[in-house]
Amino acid sequence: MVENVLWMLVLMALTAIVGILKLKDKPGKTWFILFAELALVCRFVFVFVIYSNGTEYSGTDGLIYHQIAKDVANQLHAGTPLWNVRYEYTWYTVLTGIQYAIFGVNRYAASFVNAFFTVISGYYLGEIAYNLNFSAKKSRLIGLIYLFIPSMIVWTTDTRKEAMIFFLIILTWYMTLRIIREKNWPIFRQSLYILTICLFLWLSTLLRIYMLYTFCGGLIFCLLFCYIKTRRTTIFAFLAAILITCCIVSFTTVRLNMRDYHALTMDRSTSGDENLDEEMKSILRTIMSKKIPDSINAFLTKPHLEEVPFIPDIAANPLAITIVRAEMILWYICMIISVFGIMYALIKWDPYLLGLIVFIVSYSLINALISENVADTYYRYRAAIVAPLLLFADYRPFFDKIKSLLITPPPSAGHNRPA
């Protein structure tokens, strides 16, 4: 218990430090950090709740990863170099394994670290919003909504890979925004950011195999339009780096890991690379067997309100059912508002926002097509697009634009001096 308390205190201190450094002179800094700490504490409490029965509360993935991480830690203790470590399913187990090897096996601590990364993601999401010209208040609100979404607390607290995936998604898009905006950075810094993003693409592929394509789709679209608009060499280099990374990772990591990726419906009767074609056929069969509009509906809207009481984890728990139902209604509202945010982004033809849209659409499509048709699986997988979608959840700029268009101002003939 003392160890757990120490972990919690250290992570809370780190959250405060990162918050102070990241938000330096931004308005509302103190409140934002305080709420972020509260979100962290909520997650800590939830860790104890979900482990209090010594069992799983939200599926079994967290347990599987914990077991493999223990094995990774044993391998590291036995002197296996990091690059030769054997692991299954996802690279997240290696990360947790490293933690276990250094600090000892402690599933609570691994969960605390996940909670910490989520809170940091909240900071970065707020920063993205701020850099996209949202007001300071709105950007903080976006960050906080993200941190306090109830389902998000569940997904990012257990020893699941979700916290790390969300962190990589948000950080990658944050860094992309910085590269696009900060034209005067030294070449070294720009190159470092670009290389880091390429590394993130690889790591995110190790976490969830198709992330490479959703990321590359969004980033290539964003950078291509950005380059057309600005003709900046850095952007071109960035674009080239992404394309090269996509090719290399496809032919190495994706090809090698496809068989072991447990979320894909695979033909596991045979093994070896020579059966990759069979595996691809298996995926295609899965896709072809689905009614695509139904799958898209399921990915974006499940669990439907009537299905909520039948989710095994919360069945016969009225409070949890009410919370999930309320969250689902808010999610539907968020999606509808985002339609206008997306339309505004299309009118503005902002390459960054267009890239984000491509990322959201490609991620949704891939998941709709290959995920198992289970409400809570869709619910969890969908969580990855919550943060990007929150950046569009503002209808006002679009309606203001429409309003100004419909009420045409009289043409001015005067000679106005520039400000």
Partner 1 sequence: MIRISKLTVTVLLFIISLLSAVPVSAMVQYGYIISSYDVDVEIRKDGSLDITEKVKYSHMGNNNNAVLLIDRQEDEEIEILNVYTIKKSEYIKCERLSAGQWDANVFSGTYSEVQEGDRVRIKIYGSFTNQQATFIVQYRVRNAIKKYNDIAEYRRNHVFRNWGGYISNININVTLPGFTTYDNIKPYLHGVLVGSKNVSDMKNVSYTIPNTVPGEYVEVRIAFPVSLVPDAPVAEETDYLDTFLQEEKEYLESDKSDLLKARENAAKEVGRLAWNERMKERTTIFFAAVSLFASYLGVLTIFRTRKELNREKEIFELKDIAGLSPPEAGFLVKGRAGARAFIAGLFHLAYKGMLDIDIRNEEGKDFLCFTIPGDADTSNASASEKHLLDCVKEFSEKYGYFCPARIPTGKGNTDQARLNAYYNAWADELKSDFNSKSILNPNQLYYRNLGLIMGVVLFAAGCIVPVAVSIWSGYLMLPVGFLLFWYSLNIRIRTQYRLARVRALKKLRQIILERDFSTVDLPENLSDPALLLSYSIVLYADHKFLRSGSLTEKTVSQYSLLDDRFRDKARSLIAKALTTINNSLVTNLE
Find the shortest distance in angstroms from Cβ 107 to partner 1. Answer: 7
Question: In the set 135, 310, 322, 396, which binds partner 1 (CB under 8 A)?
Answer: 310
Find the shortest distance in angstroms from Cβ 12 to partner 1. Answer: 25
Stretch that binds partner 1, among 11-19, 40-48, 281-289, 296-304 (CB under 8 A): 296-304
Question: In the set 7, 73, 107, 217, which binds partner 1 (CB under 8 A)?
Answer: 107
Find the shortest distance in angstroms from Cβ 19 to partner 1. Answer: 26
Per-residue binding letters, 47-86, with partner 1 (x by CB under 8 A): ----x-xxxxx-xx--xx-xx--x----------------
Find the shortest distance in angstroms from Cβ 158 to partner 1. Answer: 12
Q: How many residues bind partner 1 (CB under 8 A)?
A: 73
Q: Please tell me the distance from the alpha carbon of residue 15 to that of residue 116, in angstroms, as a whole number.
A: 7
Stretch that binds partner 1, among 12-20, 122-130, 305-313, 383-391 (CB under 8 A): 305-313
List Cβ neighbours of 91 (8 Å cut-off, separation of 6 or more): 203, 206, 207
Residue numbers 265-294 binding partner 1 by CB under 8 A: 291-294
Residue numbers 113-172 binding partner 1 by CB under 8 A: none
Question: In the set 307, 323, 325, 397, which binds partner 1 (CB under 8 A)?
Answer: 307
Question: In the set 31, 48, 251, 332, which binds partner 1 (CB under 8 A)?
Answer: 332
Q: Please tell me the distance from the alpha carbon of residue 157 to that of residue 63, in angstroms, as a whole number.
A: 12
Question: In the set 229, 255, 268, 396, which binds partner 1 (CB under 8 A)?
Answer: 229
Q: SS3 breakdown of the chain: % helix, strand, coil, rounded to 5? A: 75, 0, 25
Q: Please tell me the distance from the alpha carbon of residue 317 to that of residue 228, in angstroms, as a whole number.
A: 54
186 by Cβ neighbours in 10 Å (0-12 / 13-18 / 19+) ranks as exposed
Question: In the set 14, 41, 136, 300, which binds partner 1 (CB under 8 A)?
Answer: 300
Please identify, using beta-carbon distances, which residue of 44 and 51 lies nearer to partner 1: 51
Q: 254-269 burial, b if ≥16 CB within 10 A, otherwise e?
A: beebbbebebbbbeee
How many distinct helices (H) and strands (E) make up the chain? 19, 0
Q: Is 49 within 8 Å of 157 (Cβ atoms)?
A: no
Q: Please tell me the distance from the alpha carbon of residue 371 to that of residue 265, in angstroms, as a whole number.
A: 8
120 to each of 86, 123, 329, how far by Cα in Å?
29, 5, 27
Stretch that binds partner 1, among 15-23, 75-83, 160-168, 343-351 (CB under 8 A): 343-351
- 25 belongs to the binding site for partner 1 (CB under 8 A): no
DSSP secondary structure code for residue 410 in this structure: P
Q: Please tell me the distance from the alpha carbon of residue 108 to that of residue 88, in angstroms, as a whole number.
A: 21
Nearest to 295 by CA among 354, 366, 240: 366
Stretch that binds partner 1, among 75-83, 118-126, 238-246, 338-346 (CB under 8 A): 338-346
Q: Please tell me the distance from the alpha carbon of residue 7 to that of residue 99, in angstroms, as a whole number.
A: 12
Which residue is listed with tokens 């330096």?
24
Alpha helices, DSSP H only, in 187-232?
Answer: 187-207, 211-230
Find the shortest distance in angstroms from Cβ 295 to partner 1. Answer: 9
Please identify, using beta-carbon distances, which residue of 251 and 399 lies nearer to partner 1: 399
Stretch that binds partner 1, among 31-39, 268-276, 340-348, 379-387 (CB under 8 A): 340-348
DSSP secondary structure code for residue 210 in this structure: T
Nearest to 21 by CA among 12, 9, 29, 31: 29
Find the shortest distance in angstroms from Cβ 342 to partner 1. Answer: 8
Residue numbers 173-192 binding partner 1 by CB under 8 A: 180-184
Please identify, using beta-carbon distances, which residue of 262 and 281 lies nearer to partner 1: 262
- 309 belongs to the binding site for partner 1 (CB under 8 A): yes
- 406 belongs to the binding site for partner 1 (CB under 8 A): yes
- 396 belongs to the binding site for partner 1 (CB under 8 A): no
- Phi/psi region, residue 134 (left: phi>0; alpha: psi -120 to 50; beta: rest), is beta
Q: Please tell me the distance from the alpha carbon of residue 365 to that of residue 258, in angstroms, as a whole number.
A: 18
Question: In the set 376, 379, 383, 386, which binds partner 1 (CB under 8 A)?
Answer: 376
Per-residue binding letters, 232-261, with partner 1 (x by CB under 8 A): x-----------------------------
Find the shortest distance in angstroms from Cβ 333 to partner 1. Answer: 9
- 305 belongs to the binding site for partner 1 (CB under 8 A): yes
Nearest to 92 by CA among 211, 190, 197, 181: 211
